A and B are shown apart, each in its own frame.
Chain A
């Protein structure tokens, strides 16, 4: 029994350390006004240089804005009152593992696609509650007016 527990624990820690070693997807390059990173349900104040990981949500207040540079050179910025979740990010060209998946819930965003879009355009996903945007290596801007259900939080 004890042995089993120990094994379970060590497996648990292995998984934990593996996820902790997950490389950052990018980092904050610009921050103005109120802005935060929501990670595992907790709001971390956004500061220039802060790392961004897969599953983070970026949120700006009424006076806020921020800009992210991703490892594949994708550049994304948010205007005030915005919320955007990074659902997936993988950039290992050598192993052919490429993915960037952004879900925008509300606000305004400007997106300049990077190397992932050049190597594998279909590996780029940008979603709003109402549409998907297929990127062919380019820059675009999106405005999403939050629905009542998004305002809950």
Chain B
């Protein structure tokens, strides 16, 4: 047993040197790989910022800035590249839509549809919708079907005729009515949040006691 260990101890110096030689080669190879990787990385590692047209077709503008300077982009599908935190963003260049698609396709496909806002108006001191709002209601229903919402908020409002407390209650009743209409069209009640702001959040500011058709409303946000 002991001898075998001793015999085994004879060998290591040899194996060691062979191993350290191998390790040296490995190390050099790794360095070459690392440098190659870093060089290729340097060329590719740039931030790219592209201005896209808004869903409504308009285009806004963005300013890309860092310690090196800044660039404003205000044309759709125009882009700038940023090499480092200290080098100024490059001059703006136009990109093909297909190029934008190739780089950002998955992110673009993952874009949720933007939330939509609707207002329904009511007759004075009642939970009866105006004729026009009955038509708006149809757009709300079709938006629900189209957007498959994760959350819907329904907020009731009133004008300033009647007491503040009564108006809070009326706002709640208006909102509840809209909720029931949505539920009757198959919207999951658990997704709908119902609130009342009573007379405290008017679209048009008025003195107390003044009827104002624009304030007698339910605001719906579909997200």
Contacts and interface: CB of A to CB of B under 8 A. Distances in A.
Interface of A: 27, 29-30, 32, 48-49, 65-69, 73, 75, 77-80, 82, 108-110, 112-114, 128-145, 147-148
Interface in B95-118: 100, 103-115
Given A29-B150, A75-B113, A114-B114, 13 more contacts: A67-B111, A75-B115, A78-B107, A79-B110, A110-B111, A129-B47, A129-B85, A130-B46, A130-B84, A131-B89, A136-B63, A138-B52, A142-B50
A67 B115 CA distance: 13
A75 B104 contact: no
A71 B41 CA distance: 38
Interface residues of B, number: 44
A137 B103 CA distance: 23
A142 B54 CA distance: 15
A132 B62 CA distance: 10
Contacts of B114: 69, 73, 75, 112, 114
B53 A143 contact: no
Interface in B53-82: 53-55, 59-66, 73, 82
30 contacts: A27-B150, A27-B151, A27-B223, A29-B112, A29-B223, A65-B107, A66-B110, A67-B110, A77-B108, A77-B111, A79-B107, A80-B106, A108-B104, A110-B52, A110-B110, A114-B114, A128-B82, A130-B84, A130-B85, A131-B85, A134-B64, A136-B60, A136-B63, A139-B51, A140-B50, A140-B73, A141-B49, A141-B52, A143-B103, A145-B45
Nearest to A71: B223
A144 B113 CA distance: 24
Given A65-B106, A128-B82, A141-B104, A73 B115 contact: yes
A145 B48 CA distance: 9
B112 A68 contact: yes
Contacts of A142: 47-50
Given A75-B114, A131-B85, A139 B52 contact: yes
Interface of B: 41, 44-55, 59-66, 73, 82-85, 89, 100, 103-115, 150-151, 223
Contacts of A137: 60
Report, nearest first, the 9 A-B pairs whose CB atoms are least far apart: A138-B60, A29-B112, A79-B107, A134-B63, A77-B110, A79-B106, A65-B110, A143-B48, A67-B112
A104 B112 CA distance: 19
Nearest to B88: A131
Contacts of B104: 79, 108, 110, 141, 143
Contacts of B65: 131-132, 134
Contacts of A48: 150
A84 B85 CA distance: 18
Contacts of A138: 51-52, 54, 59-62
A108 B45 CA distance: 13
Nearest to A132: B65
A133 B111 contact: no
Contacts of B85: 129-131
Contacts of A130: 46-47, 66, 82-85
